[in-house]
Structure 1
Amino acid sequence: MTSCKITFPTRFEVNGVRLKGAINWFQHCIPVENENGEVCLEFVFSEILKPFIIDLKEYVKIGVSEVFPMRSGYAIRMFQLLKAEYDRLKEYRKVVNFDFSLEELKRLLGIEEGNYPDFKNFRVRVLDPIKEDINEFSNQIQIDYEYLKTGKKVTGIRFLVFSKAKTSIPSVTAQEPDKKTRKEKKDKVDLSKLTRAQLKAVEVLVQFGVFEGIAVKQILPTIGGSELEGFEDLFIQKAIQYFQKNAHQQGFTEQSAATFVVWWHDKKIFDSQSTSGVWSILLESLVEDKKAMQKKDPLAYENRLVAKTMTNEAFEIWYRKGK
């Protein structure tokens, strides 16, 4: 028992080799006689481990039913780390970001130095199983991840953690209150003042999985620039396409929508003032589409110019009168 050790990598290197540290679990382990005259083993934990055993001030509750089915040991470790971080910050953020360099992440997962030098292999064998296991078996959180790059090279990973909505098969009596709740939430979002293109933009976002309120109150007001007026829906489509391509997100899911909102609102990837240059790229593409529309379907182009100056309802009245 006295030879049992905890080994761990350190930050020190000699001749390019990272040194490992080791701590004995037990300070001593000796046979003694108890008050009944029986021979027992007396063992004392190492002094350096005491703060981690008897002086725990922070901890994270992990459900055995969540981690037991997980197939990847890496998933269990990341679930512990991400759940702890999410519990600490969930009061202040709906989506919690957790950034790691690749080297740091591999150390935390106990991956030996030199393993998985090819990032694609690391993604397939480590990152994807982590995401799949946590999202399948945790009933508390869902995660997603995106790449952190230096130039074109992936040098880190950003995990995004958010609450998993508990779903169940509703009973017949439970369906009506749910419908009422959804209707009340929908009624709080005023769509009557939106132009036709703005309304279409909201519809595109909602179809992608973004909540209607977030689309109207957080995303739509930040779409600026005279070139975009009357074409907001096309800009949103291009933004989603860019996101899916560069974040490696396909399909319309709650996870993808949450990550997209982080890109838009928190990271301001699609902001005209952002140094990312994405807004300029999308604007240039939109201008080309506008020119093509003006040439191929001039009536549709002119209708968009008219519609951008009035609400969708007013435009429909105007359009019907013109018919």
Structure 2
Amino acid sequence: MRRENTTQVAAIANKFIQHARYKLTPREMKLILYMASLIRPEDSDFETYLVPVTEIESVLKADEDKKHGSFYERLDDLLDSVTSKKITFPTDFVLEGVRLRGHINWVAGAVPKSNEEGILCVEFGFSPQMKPFMLGLKERFTRFELMEVARMKSSFSIRLFQMCKAYYYENIRHGRNTMTVGVKELKARLGIQNKYPDFRNFRRKVLDVAKDEINEKTRLTVELEYLRKSRRITDIAFIINEKDVDVHIEEDAIKTKQIAAPKAKTKPVSKGEWVERIDALTEAQRRAFNRLSEYGVNLAVALDEVMPIIKGSELIGYEDFFVTYLLAFFEKKTNRKSPKEKVKAFVGWIRNKRFEEPGLYASLMEQVIARKKQLTSEERDNRKRAKTMTAKDFRQLLADEKQIGKHPLGEPTYSVKNKLTVSRRKTKAPEEPELFVAEEKPAGFDLNAFRQKHPKKYQQILKERLEALNDLKDASNFDELLQSSVEAYCEQWERS
């Protein structure tokens, strides 16, 4: 099956990252990650993937200093090696004092074939035993951007980066950012159990190289501490942090060409179709779309790539809040200067699912919930009505109720048709306009008092919010997010 790869992000289960034992070359690792990026979140089974040879050639070009033989000779070697490499992992089975290991292959096969256009491809299929680690991932998994991995030259750098990133995003919510691994166990994970008996060589050829590459080429920073028993180093502590600014991960900044994403064959969308799609937006969606447009994001990206990530009952009817905080966060983190470069980097974050990382997504949602709690009852009622109709219908409803005069809900300063040809560009996230007239705020809400007064209702809301936020339970601020959500819904119920 020929599948379009637009995101170039691979998702892998944390238990595999932290416990699997294998050794791959940098080329093999990048090819495996590229294949993993073809898997969609909704896939329930592995498929076979046709990868054009030209894309595989991009992987081979990553090792410019190790070119031996023609491209097709090196391709044949790569296919032979990637199909023969195995993964081992510890199991719970112990017989006569020996703990048995599991053994699986990465891929089920790699066969040269031509696609429908006659282009030479290689048909790949993952081994069925890899399903638990790549399919149906809902929690405790980590996403890896291929462009970030492509910058690294050492397979040890890639492997340790995977381990550090998986550990950091799973544990930072508990205040833990130090991963401690025994030297023997670490060598086993890297597939070099019997190499580098002299620790000084292990440190120089593996650890120092990996640390330098991770710190230079990824958005993580890693420092190492060596732990001793007596005079012998037995464990290594990886102190992991995230950089405050976004890393330049662009093709023109990488000397080695990254795997090119296939160009999707899409039917051109007419001007009338764009107008229809925009007219179908709700008021909050329309405001979110307008803010993206003002920032410089084009129509297709705003509608087809940004808006779809805004999901969940907490955000329906509040899409404009989410986009405002999303743009504000990006502005705080980016080090790009010009509006054009900022938009380019922002789109890169969207396509690499940077905003969908559980911790960040939960943080943005928490800001939305906090903002919702500041709304008056009239504001909440109007938003509740607005999410069931188009922006045009909602504005007409307000006009009929003669509310337009006291609520700033007029049309944007530019029409939809004008937006089709001109995008107003700004360098900062636009400030959030007030949707509704301010009124005197009611007395503060006491959640503890509510819980004592309405224990059954509290438990019902708590259960509903736990289910609604289930996908974010690995986020670092999940407890605060859950409490804010429960408090907001309890307050809304009491005041209704």
- Per the TM superposition, whether the score is higher than 0.5 is no
TM-score, reference length from structure 1: 0.44
Higher gyration radius (CA): 1
TM-score, reference length from structure 2: 0.30
Say which structure, 1 or 2, has more relative contact order (CA 8 Å, 6+ apart): 2
